[in-house]
Amino acid sequence: MLEAGRRTEGELCGKLNTAANFLSLEEICSIYIMGRPLFLYVFLFYWHFLNALFTVEAPQSLCIVEHGNNVTMECTFPVNGKLEFRDLSVSWEKKDELKQVYVLHKGEEDFKSQHIDFRGRIKLLKENLNLGQSLLQITDVKLRDAGVYRCVIAYGGADYKTIHLKVKAPYRIINQGVVSTGRNEWKLTCQSEGYPKAEVIWQNRNYEDLTDKANTRFETASDQLYHVTSTLTIKSGIDEIFYCIFWNKELQENTTAILHTADSTDGILQTESRRFVGATLIATAFVGSVLLFLLCIRKGWVGERGSYGNVLREVLISLTGLQLKQIRATEHLWQVHQQQSCQKIRIRMTTEMLLLKIES
């Protein structure tokens, strides 16, 4: 196998020397761009010593971008005088996965070999080529776009540089929930999504670690983001504070949410509050009805049929239902009968005044 490898290497070097003698560098780069990368890489290794004047540079070898944003990667090359597009060839590819990103061959764009992952999201800013800048723009960056990109340029000479693209998705928004399960026990929940995988840390007001008591679940979707849900069930007072921290170790970033047990949405606090308000309304309506009933008895306004007494009995029966609708209905009846009572008072007083005038 060693001899075969040496023989293969010798044959390749022989072909390389032949190509160097009969082909220009631009022609060899064109062969690469049309689908023969291995030949070019070996050629560039030797040609570097023969063509040191033409150098491609990468001003920024590492680019970091957030998921969903746009990013522009740049490599530069020497341009002497006016740029001749027909002599320029540019290729961008995702090196680690051998995915073709963009090809400009002899001044003409070629999208036939472009990988489906990049279709509709790639643009080369051609107006900057005159300045010796090859600017590749990727829109709506995906997590799968992360990796190493190679920028190859042939223009009177040839060279390439690599750029590492890193994609992050911080856990910026934390959805939180506080629910009381009764008897001073609370269910605290934090939900967020991001990348890479984060650790969820729980602490109380005194910054004591409660992470071991929590249950954290990780799920991944088609977008490759981590959907994280962490739940902590704990006993505490009704005015306690807890911290939910998403720690992204790889990015050295953390996001914190503050949870108050007093902010319970479906817990015992609001239940007790509703009961208190309901009991207050019932007591008020009951006491008012009884006082009005006693006043009517004292004034002698209850007839032989006891119609008003029957109405009050119906009111009292309705009060035992402890429903807000019935309470409102009771209050309405009370107001109606109160008005009727006032009318009876006026009629009674008018009648008594007439009798006094007649007697006099």
**Mean pLDDT along residues 330-353:** 52
Task: Report CA-CA distances (Å) from 113 to 39, 97, 99, 118.
Answer: 18, 14, 9, 11
**Mean pLDDT along residues 284-305:** 53
Residue 20 reports pLDDT greater than 70: no
> Same structural domain for residues 83 and 108?
yes
Residue 267 reports pLDDT greater than 50: no
Query: Which carries the bigger pLDDT value, residue 320 or residue 145?
Result: 145
Tell which of 143, 168, 193 closes a domain: 168
Task: For residues 97 and 150, give the distance between their C-alpha atoms in angstroms, rounded to a whole number.
Answer: 11
What does the pLDDT read at residue 30?
47
Range with lowest mean pLDDT among 12-16, 69-73, 239-243, 255-259: 12-16
> Same structural domain for residues 258 and 315?
no
pLDDT tens readout for residues 38-76? 445 555 555 555 456 789 999 999 999 999 999 999 999
> Same structural domain for residues 249 and 275?
no
pLDDT tens readout for residues 245-259? 999 988 889 999 999
> Same structural domain for residues 259 and 272?
no
Q: What percent of the chain has pLDDT over 90?
A: 50
Range with lowest mean pLDDT among 26-30, 50-54, 109-113: 26-30
**Mean pLDDT along residues 138-150:** 96
Q: Is 242 exposed, middle or buried (0-12, 13-18, 19+ CB in 10 A)?
A: buried
- The domain containing residue 239 runs over which residues? 175-263
What does the pLDDT read at residue 221?
80
> Same structural domain for residues 13 and 150?
yes
> Same structural domain for residues 126 and 191?
no
Confidence of residue 111 (pLDDT cuts 50, 70, 90): very high
pLDDT tens readout for residues 157-178? 999 999 999 999 999 999 999 9
pTM of the model: 0.58
What does the pLDDT read at residue 262?
86
Residue 214 reports pLDDT greater than 60: yes
> Same structural domain for residues 285 and 344?
yes
The count of domains in the chain is 3
**Mean pLDDT along residues 16-32:** 43
Query: Which carries the bigger pLDDT value, residue 270 or residue 311?
Result: 311
What does the pLDDT read at residue 223?
82
> Same structural domain for residues 206 and 104?
no
Confidence of residue 12 (pLDDT cuts 50, 70, 90): very low
Tell which of 237, 263, 289 closes a domain: 263
Confirm if 318 and 286 have CB atoms less than 8 A apart: no
Confidence of residue 284 (pLDDT cuts 50, 70, 90): low
Query: Which carries the bigger pLDDT value, residue 302 or residue 235?
Result: 235
Encoding tokens for residue 35?
């689908």
H helices present in the chain, as ranges: 2-22, 25-33, 37-50, 268-299, 307-319, 324-359
Residue 24 reports pLDDT greater than 50: no
Residue 133 reports pLDDT greater than 50: yes
Encoding tokens for residue 334?
């009370």
What does the pLDDT read at residue 6?
41
Domain CATH number, residue 108? 2.60.40.10
> Same structural domain for residues 19 and 145?
yes
Tell which of 232, 247, 263 closes a domain: 263
Q: What percent of the chain has pLDDT over 70?
A: 59
Going by C-alpha positions, the residue among 313, 290, 298 that lies closest to residue 348 is: 298
> Same structural domain for residues 44 and 133?
yes
> Same structural domain for residues 213 and 254?
yes
> Same structural domain for residues 299 and 243?
no
Residue 326 reports pLDDT greater than 50: no
Task: Round the average pLDDT of the chain to a whole number and report it.
Answer: 75
Confirm if 288 and 316 have CB atoms less than 8 A apart: no
